[in-house]
Amino acid sequence: MFNETLHGVYPERDSSVASLPQNDRKRRVQDESVLLTLSTDSFIFYLFEEYCKEFIIKPMKKILLVAGETSTDLYGAYLISALKERTKEPVDIFGLGGPRMGSAGMRVIRDFTKEAGTGLDPLTRFTYFARTFRQLVSYIKKERPDVAVLMDLPDFNLRLAKEIKRLHIPIVYYISPQVWAWRSSRIKTIAKLVDKMLVIFEFEKDLYAKYNIPVVFVGHPLLDVIGEIRNPTPNQVRGEIRNRLGIKQARLVIGLLPGSRKSEFIRHFPIMLKSAGLIRDKFSDAVFVLACAPQVTDRLVNQYLNKTDMKIHTYFNQTYNVMQASDLLITASGTATVESAIFGTPLVVIYKVSIVTASILGPLIKTPYYAMVNIIAGKKIVPELMQSEANPKRIANEVIRLIEGTHLKQVSDELLMVRERLGTRGASQRAADEIIKLTPDYAVPNK
């Protein structure tokens, strides 16, 4: 029926057929009917195939994420949520990460946050890292992601980037290595391997631009994590939080943040504990609150508290409450310093590593400051005590100096300026948009 309706649509064809002898005319019509039938079937199949591509069997985007720090596990979780929100089709996100990224919907091949460390720590577990590296490369070859997103962890990720580059998979580096602080030669490696840098500090954008590396300043994801807060923490809010923590009547609260890793806690907490004793000799009504990261257990804390008569209020997974409840913090250098700046809580920064690590890394560090808030500010706005300077007496003296006079207010105002340099909320969404752009046939993100 369909073929019959085609006759008469093309007059030139019909007239040429009519002029043929009877037998030839019959053969020609039969041949064209077959062709028309094949063309019709092919056209219907083409329509069906296009429908399936669009609505039924469209390939799912695959995105590889690699993170190995407690902080990047947190940022990665927010990034995953943003990727799922802003893509217009299902997306398969897999790779190395931690529990937060897994909860956000990533297929976690291995929880890398338990093993990754800073400085030379990964080298002491070379066998584990080498095995993980080989397994991940094999998995990438099998899965063939549309784009790879590497987060910090440069010793592992830059080596991994070389393997990914050979597979012609676009590479995005989100959360830049601290090339501005040490081992700046890594910029040349990044220039060869990375298709796009997504940086969280504005000064990093100018650094990569000098080397003609595609770079986008997306802002700091901590602004998404912490959300809308007032800086500094208003007295009313501080009072409410102290009430929840059971220290409502405290006049002076000093927070202790030894670090997010177990190794950092072991290095820093005994020093902080002795410092607290010296501070209490000066301020007898001071209340000390300890914020413990997930890797720190109650048993580990009690190993130290059972050896002293100091009263330390201990809280697990309540770091932000401790930060807001405190008048001042003694904190290990790291992400906590930036979080403190967002809350506007003054702080004294300390950090210690092994003598071997310090002797190797010390000469490589080029920045005049260690604490991230000082680096962002471009000047020393909070005390930073490293290695031998991070001793109980020196820490206590810095805390006492800040508490006396008007120093706390001055530091809080300086931290507000640091917060303004972190950009605006929405860093995770902006990062997701830039990543999606590198996937095949990317769709305009949902707004």
CA–CA distance, 164 with 137 (Å, rounded to integer) = 8
Pair type for strands 252-257 and 215-217: unpaired
Residue 248 maps to a domain? yes
Residue 313 maps to a domain? yes
Six-digit token string for 226: 């912490």
Q: Tell whether 163 and 208 lie within a shared domain.
A: yes
What local confidence, expressed as pLDDT, does residue 232 receive? Answer: 62
Find out whether 268 and 332 touch, Cβ atoms under 8 Å: yes
CA–CA distance, 270 with 309 (Å, rounded to integer) = 13
Mean of pLDDT values over 239-243: 92
What local confidence, expressed as pLDDT, does residue 440 receive? Answer: 81
- Stretch among 100-109, 221-230, 306-315, 416-425 having the lowest mean pLDDT: 221-230
What local confidence, expressed as pLDDT, does residue 113 receive? Answer: 81
> What are the strands of the beta sheet with 215-217, ordered from one edge?
107-111, 91-97, 61-66, 147-151, 171-174, 196-199, 215-217
How many structural domains are present in the chain? 3
Instruction: Give residue 6's pLDDT band: very low, low, confident or very high (50, 70, 90).
Output: very low
How high is the mean pLDDT of the chain? 84
Q: What is the pLDDT of residues 126-136, one digit of tens each?
A: 787 888 999 99
Whether the per-residue pLDDT at 40 is higher than 80: the answer is no
Q: Tell whether 364 and 238 lie within a shared domain.
A: yes
Mean of pLDDT values over 337-341: 95
What local confidence, expressed as pLDDT, does residue 329 receive? Answer: 98
What local confidence, expressed as pLDDT, does residue 214 receive? Answer: 97
CA–CA distance, 138 with 94 (Å, rounded to integer) = 14
CA 116 to chain centre: 14
Whether the per-residue pLDDT at 18 is higher than 50: the answer is no
CA–CA distance, 244 with 127 (Å, rounded to integer) = 45
CA distances from 217 to 135, 143, 176, 214, 430 (A): 32, 30, 11, 10, 9
Q: Tell whether 170 and 154 lie within a shared domain.
A: yes
Residue 273, classed as helix, strand or coil, is helix
Mean of pLDDT values over 326-333: 96
Residue 161 maps to a domain? yes
Whether the per-residue pLDDT at 231 is higher than 60: the answer is no
H or E, element range at 109: strand 107-111
Instruction: Give residue 95's pLDDT band: very low, low, confident or very high (50, 70, 90).
Output: very high
Q: Tell whether 272 and 129 lie within a shared domain.
A: no
Residue 148 maps to a domain? yes
Phi and psi dihedrals of 334, rounded to 5?
A: 150, -155
Quick count: other Cβ atoms within 10 Å of Cβ 24? 11
Q: Tell whether 194 and 258 lie within a shared domain.
A: no
- Stretch among 19-23, 47-51, 260-264 having the lowest mean pLDDT: 19-23
CA–CA distance, 355 with 436 (Å, rounded to integer) = 44
> What are the strands of the beta sheet with 312-316, ordered from one edge?
312-316, 286-292, 252-257, 328-332, 347-351, 384-386
Helices of type H across 348-406: 355-361, 372-377, 392-403
Residue 344 maps to a domain? yes
**Residue 342 belongs to domain with CATH number:** 3.40.50.2000
Whether the per-residue pLDDT at 142 is higher than 80: the answer is yes
CA atoms within a 13 Å half-sphere pointing along the CA-CB vector of 405: 8
Q: Tell whether 337 and 317 lie within a shared domain.
A: yes
Q: Tell whether 310 and 386 lie within a shared domain.
A: yes
Residue 443 maps to a domain? no
Instruction: Look at the alpha carbons of 140, 145, 150, 154 in this order and tell me if their dihedral is positive or negative.
Output: positive
- Stretch among 78-82, 181-185, 307-311 having the lowest mean pLDDT: 181-185
Q: Tell whether 322 and 235 lie within a shared domain.
A: yes
- Stretch among 54-58, 179-183, 209-213 having the lowest mean pLDDT: 54-58
Quick count: other Cβ atoms within 10 Å of Cβ 364? 10
Whether the per-residue pLDDT at 116 is higher than 70: the answer is no
Q: Tell whether 265 and 157 lie within a shared domain.
A: no
Q: Tell whether 127 and 152 lie within a shared domain.
A: yes
H or E, element range at 140: helix 126-143
pLDDT higher for 220 or 185? 220
Residue 445 maps to a domain? no
CA–CA distance, 138 with 128 (Å, rounded to integer) = 16
Q: What is the pLDDT of residues 365-382, one digit of tens each?
A: 667 888 999 999 999 999
Q: What share of the chain is helix, strand, coil (3-state, %, to 5)?
A: 55, 15, 30
What local confidence, expressed as pLDDT, does residue 362 receive? Answer: 64
- Stretch among 90-94, 95-99, 438-442 having the lowest mean pLDDT: 438-442
Question: Which range of residues forms the domain containing residue 30?
Answer: 2-45
Mean of pLDDT values over 248-269: 93
CA–CA distance, 151 with 157 (Å, rounded to integer) = 8
Whether the per-residue pLDDT at 308 is higher than 60: the answer is yes
What local confidence, expressed as pLDDT, does residue 256 receive? Answer: 98
Q: Tell whether 26 and 74 lie within a shared domain.
A: no
The verdict on pTM exceeding 0.85 is: no
Q: What is the pLDDT of residues 151-183, one digit of tens each?
A: 988 989 999 999 999 999 999 999 999 887 767
What local confidence, expressed as pLDDT, does residue 444 receive? Answer: 47
Q: Tell whether 140 and 269 lie within a shared domain.
A: no
Residue 158 maps to a domain? yes
Mean of pLDDT values over 216-224: 95
Instruction: Give residue 37's pLDDT band: very low, low, confident or very high (50, 70, 90).
Output: very low
